[in-house]
Structure 1
Amino acid sequence: MRFFIGFSDMIDRAMRFIAMFGGWLGVMLVIAVCYDVVTRYFGVPKPAGLNSTMIQESEYWLHSFLIACSIGYAYLKDAHVRVDLFRPNFSGRTKLWIELFGLIAAVIPYSLLGLWLSWPYTVKSFLSGEISKSQNGLSDLWILKGGLVVLFVLIFFAGISKFIKIIAALRGDLPMEEVSGEEL
């Protein structure tokens, strides 16, 4: 089990690094939005080759990749949206079993289905040389669509990491508190 816990820890470190990269994308997004507002509303000239459409499209590209890079880490740290009506009343072991069921029934299949659907979508965009529908927009739209692939891969690996930790906690190889950020 130590090997699997080590593998889970490696996934967690990779997720943390990717989420930090996503955080820097957030900084870039704020800069892009501020730049767009200032240049559009105050008449500041834009550098050659850069237009409002490109800036606006880069904003939603950055936003998309920020979410894609952060979602796996958010799941690992239980920072995702969760509607728990009954869960607070359950014991730690029961919470682990519920989480395990959710992983097996929803998270892992959902991520695999999303990956299965988004991969050909991205490849088709790449092979066709798809560009923005706007005449002045960004090219290489496959990069944006590739964000879906990244998102589902990260959700899958976050689910695998959580799965390993839950099994280890249920076996007694790992303290229950290490499965998530909350106290079980």
Structure 2
Amino acid sequence: MDLALGASRAIDRFLWSVAKIGAWCAVLLVAVVTYDVFTRYLGVPKVFGLTSTMLQESEYWLHSFLIVLVVGYAYTRQSHVRIDLIRENLSERAKYIIEIAGILLALIPYAMLGVWLSWPYVVRSYTSGEISKSQTGLTDLWILKSGLIILFVLIGLAGISQLIKSIAGLAGRLPGDLKPTTIGGEH
């Protein structure tokens, strides 16, 4: 069990590293929006051949990757919706069983299906050289669309990490510092 918990901690560290990159997307998003507004409303010319359309499209790219890169970490930190009204009255054992069942029956199959369905979508975009519908928009839309695959892989990894911790909790082998991030409890 210690080896599995070590793997879970490694996954969590990886998800945290990826989430930090996602957080930088938020900083870049603020900078791009500020630059876009500044140049558009004050009449300042844009540099490097950028257009307003490129800037606006880069804003939703950054927003998309912000979400994609932090979602796995958010799941490992209990930042998802739960039905606490019912769940709070359950025993720890029941919470671990529900967590394990949810991960095995819903989260992991959902993540696998998401990767499987997204792959052809991204490949088609790449092989066709898909670009923005706007003549002055961004190219290489496959990069944006690949965010779907990344999202489902990160959610799947988070699910595996949570599954390991939940099984350890059910077996009574989960360290106390991991309990709040496994079945919740700290608000």
- With normalisation by structure 2, the TM-score equals 0.94
Asked whether the equivalents of residues 76 and 180 of structure 1 are also in contact (C-alpha less than 8 Å), the reply is no
Aligned to 1:59: 59
Task: Report the residue type matching 1:73 in the other structure.
Answer: Y
Aligned to 1:103: 103
1:121 aligns with 2:126: no
Q: CA RMSD in A?
A: 1.4
Task: Report the residue type matching 2:89 in the other structure.
Answer: N
Aligned to 2:157: 157
Aligned to 2:93: 93
Asked whether the equivalents of residues 29 and 62 of structure 1 are also in contact (C-alpha less than 8 Å), the reply is yes
Q: Secondary structure at the match of 2:130?
A: coil
Distance 1:178 1:97 in 2: 16
The offset of 1:98, in angstroms, is 1.1
The offset of 1:163, in angstroms, is 0.3
The offset of 1:166, in angstroms, is 0.5
Residue range with higher mean Cα deviation, 102-111 or 172-181: 172-181
Distance 2:35 2:170 in 1: 51
Asked whether the equivalents of residues 8 and 162 of structure 1 are also in contact (C-alpha less than 8 Å), the reply is yes
Aligned to 1:141: 141
Task: Report the residue type matching 1:90 in the other structure.
Answer: L
Distance 2:172 2:7 in 1: 18
Matched positions, count: 184
Q: Secondary structure at the match of 2:45?
A: coil
Aligned to 2:76: 76
- With normalisation by structure 1, the TM-score equals 0.95
Aligned to 2:47: 47
Which runs of 5 or more structure 2 residues have no equivalent in the other structure? none
Task: Report the residue type matching 2:185 in the other structure.
Answer: E
Distance 2:30 2:76 in 1: 26
Asked whether the equivalents of residues 130 and 140 of structure 1 are also in contact (C-alpha less than 8 Å), the reply is yes
Asked whether the equivalents of residues 177 and 183 of structure 1 are also in contact (C-alpha less than 8 Å), the reply is no
Distance 2:168 2:105 in 1: 19
The offset of 1:175, in angstroms, is 3.3
Over the matched positions of the two proteins, sequence identity in percent amounts to 58
The offset of 1:146, in angstroms, is 0.3
Aligned to 1:183: 185
Distance 1:110 1:17 in 2: 23
